Structure 1
Amino acid sequence: MKNIIFCFLFLACFTVQSLAYDIQKIRKDYIEAIKDANAADKLYKELKAIKNPSPLILAYLGSADAVRAKHSWNPVNKMAFLKQGCKTIDKAVELSPNQLEIRFLRFSLEHFLPPFLGYSKHLEIDKKKILELVQKSNVQALHVDENILKNMVNFMIDSKRCTDNEVSVLRKVIA
């Protein structure tokens, strides 16, 4: 019996570690995908192949699809990738509305989209939720490390979408 419990705990720990490793790789690959079309296609295919993805994986899948739109020269493909990407990110938010990283991915994507496309409708909602989450939670509860949190906060400040009061709140988070 002890051996079975030990094996179960070992596998559980191994699974948690491999998931943490995978999300770190996905984050790194996503940054590369923003710059490189081949990396965007590769990341999209890898994420699409994941069976039963978590809401966070769904958010990265949608983001990768939207990044593919950025790199596409064909206007029809651009809009198809963007539409599907936004739909997937919206689903991730619906499944996990209080996860900071998911909200941030949608906010950052919508920040860069031209308003006339009609896909920037969650900016204010996501900004408020991000502010609420970073004020109420410690870094561990947010499921991101301090460096990622600092990058998110700095992006929010640099976006110029926050009021002076909101910027003050954000600065306190990384102080």
Structure 2
Amino acid sequence: MKGVDGDKKSVKNAYEIFLKLRNIEPDNALIEAYYGSTLALLGRDAVQPLEKADKAQEGLDSLNQAISMDPNQKEIRMLRANVCLRLPESFFHCTQTAIEDYSFLLERYKKDPSYLTNTQVRGIMEDLSTAYKNVGKLSEANEVLQRLKQFTSKKK
């Protein structure tokens, strides 16, 4: 979390740890996802534009690989959605992937309310609304915000 919050040294340390773990357990989807997430953070922190783009794309590729290894894993879906939402849509065109992941998580939650915490549901709905706005789907964004208001009022 320190890396997500901007600590570049923590990002490098996390990357090195997940690289080692990935070599030890190449078939572990969750490790692959965290490895991809650290690559995306390395891209965020890179100085050279080409390195930024390359690392971010490598991170996306690893996150997509993790999903193909375990498509129902909640944590992997959350990681990929969060990375996709924060990458520039004009360059990476992956906001739709974030929408799909957030929608997947909310569908699972509908079937099993213990699948996500209330805090996770609120965060996912806020991010889903943002994702819809980012791709110009304002009516969908507003619909999600209305559902969020209903959810929040029920949970009080």
Moved more, 59-68 or 46-55: 46-55
Gaps of 5+ in 1: 1-30
Would the alpha carbon gap of residues 110 and 173 (structure 1) be closer, same or farther in structure 2, given more than 3 Å must change? Answer: farther
Would the alpha carbon gap of residues 164 and 173 (structure 1) be closer, same or farther in structure 2, given more than 3 Å must change? Answer: same
Q: Distance in 2 between matches of 1:135 and 1:173?
A: 14
Aligned to 1:46: 17
Please say if 1:80 is aligned against 2:48.
no
Secondary structure of the equivalent of 2:71?
coil
Residue by residue over 1:112-132, the C-alpha shift from the partner in whole angstroms, topping out at 9 and shown as x without a partner, is 111111241412211221111
From 35, 58, 76, the equivalent of 2:32 is 58
- 1:1-175 matches, within 5 Å, as 31-34=1-4, 35-50=6-21, 51-53=24-26, 54-120=28-94, 121-137=96-112, 139=114, 142=115, 149-159=117-127, 160-161=129-130, 163-164=144-145, 166-167=147-148, 171=152
Would the alpha carbon gap of residues 61 and 135 (structure 1) be closer, same or farther in structure 2, given more than 3 Å must change? Answer: same
When normalised by structure 2's length, the TM-score is 0.76
Would the alpha carbon gap of residues 119 and 173 (structure 1) be closer, same or farther in structure 2, given more than 3 Å must change? Answer: farther
Aligned to 1:3: none
**Is the 2:15–2:35 Cα contact (8 Å) retained in structure 1?**
yes
Shift of 1:158: 2.6
Shift of 1:151: 4.2
**Is the 2:126–2:148 Cα contact (8 Å) retained in structure 1?**
no
How big is the alpha-carbon RMSD for the aligned residues of Structure 1 and Structure 2? 2.4
Q: Distance in 2 between matches of 1:70 and 1:138?
A: 34
Aligned length: 138
Shift of 1:77: 1.2
Shift of 1:87: 0.2
Secondary structure of the equivalent of 1:33?
coil
- Greater Rg over alpha carbons, structure: 1
Gaps of 5+ in 2: 131-140
